Amino acid sequence: MNTSGIITRRNFIKNTALTGAVLSTLPLFNVRAQGAGRKFKVGVIGSGGRGSGAVDNIVEAAKSLGHEIEVLAVADFFAARTEKVAKKYNVPAARVFAGADAYQKLLAIKEIEIVILATPPAFRPVHFEAAVAAGKHCFIEKPVAVDPVGARKVIAVGEIAKQKGLTVVAGTQRRHTGTYLRNQNAVSQGAIGKITGGAITWCTGTLWFKEREAGESDASYMVRNWTSFTEMSGDHIVEQHVHQLDVTNWFLGRTPLSAVGFGGRARRKTGNQFDFFSVDYNYGDDCRIHSMCRQIKGCYDNVGEFYIGTEGTTYGGGKMQSAKLASLTIPEFKTHANGQVQEHVDLLAAIAANKPLNGAKDVAESTLTAIMGRIACYTGQQVRWSDLTTNTESPWYNLTLKPAALDFESGEVVAPKDEVCPVPGLG
């Protein structure tokens, strides 16, 4: 690709403000950031697989910028899950917290500058609100909600974070990956013309499930098996496929107008989620995107994005076919080889340079896009973006999944029945 300059389309960049913010920090990856040698004090809320992985990512990111990370405190619903991170990063027992209210105890520690929020998605809106109220910079793992009310809360809290000058970076690592950044930049310059359609997929096997232990509470059972319950994960269209929907919103520079789809359950024996989803997203301007995701073992696996334009085609972070490409000036985005590290590079660089990033709205809208598709499949109805964002008369505007985050703190958790899921239409 030609790398001598940049040409952008004003309307596209206006609708992708986070992209511009991220681009402004990316060059810091290859130089010592302002205030090099700084020690960032971090708190970790949710220390399971993704939480512990995020800690390793931010430590590696700090080293690349000449900084250090001190993990000051760890919080998780389960005490046993805190042990790995606490031991690895020498967190004293007095700053290791367990239980549904553990996040509150961690956020009360004034010295903590940055919090990693990596609990099950159902907890994200409440934890994010509390973190911003406490004045913390945030890394918020995707997705950020399981229902429309939660997603709108994240958008609102993101605005408060912006007013406070706090940086918020989300776990949508494709926005921090060089190949995706280059293709998005080319698309924004019209490399493939107007996008008219595409296909996005996340088709893989099922995730884990842990049998209920003798005498185990419903709350514990649901948190341990959060990827099996819609109330905890949003279903896998939200929890996993949000990545492809995020890339689509980013490349198109807008959210969809409506969604119609179907799905079902054929193989699962636990929880209440679907096995598969097929959704037609209408993005307006004669653009339709087919979304397909599946969690069934022993089937063809595929994860990715493909878009068709009036003057070419492109994969999300792969091959682009465009006669225009040779005439465009595409910058070389020098990022870490691991996008999950680069997102933390951008987080730390923004804080060190006092140039806040704020990805709350983008990740919340991508989460809401996934939620819209799920509702369409669960109900068999067309669901409009306005039904979830502005139309207060819509039956889905105030949809709140229960049990909700605060129910775990009050102790009022009743788990849904296993092997029962929505069945749309009439028999």
Q: Is the pLDDT of residue 2 over 60?
A: no
What is the pLDDT confidence band of residue 34, given thresholds at 50, 70 and 90?
Answer: low
Residue recorded with tokens 């098996």: 225
Mean pLDDT confidence for 156-162: 98
Q: Tell me the pLDDT tens digit for each residue of 311-342.
A: 999 999 999 999 999 999 999 899 999 999 99
For residues 414 and 420, what is the distance between their CA atoms, to the nearest angstrom? 15
Q: Tell me the pLDDT tens digit for each residue of 218-260.
A: 999 999 999 999 999 999 999 999 999 999 999 999 999 999 9
What is the pLDDT confidence band of residue 406, given thresholds at 50, 70 and 90?
Answer: very high
pTM of the predicted model, to two decimals?
A: 0.92
Residue recorded with tokens 């060089």: 178
For residues 106 and 322, what is the distance between their CA atoms, to the nearest angstrom? 51
For residues 239 and 128, what is the distance between their CA atoms, to the nearest angstrom? 17
- Which pLDDT does position 11 carry in this prediction? 36
Sketch out the chain's domains with CATH numbers.
10-174+339-359 (3.40.50.720), 190-328+365-410 (3.30.360.10)
3-state per-residue secondary structure call for 295-360: ECCCCCCEEEEEEEECCEEEECCCCEEECCHHHCCCCCCCCCCCHHHHHHHHHHHHHHCCCCCECH
Share of the chain above pLDDT 90, in %: 89
- Which pLDDT does position 269 carry in this prediction? 85
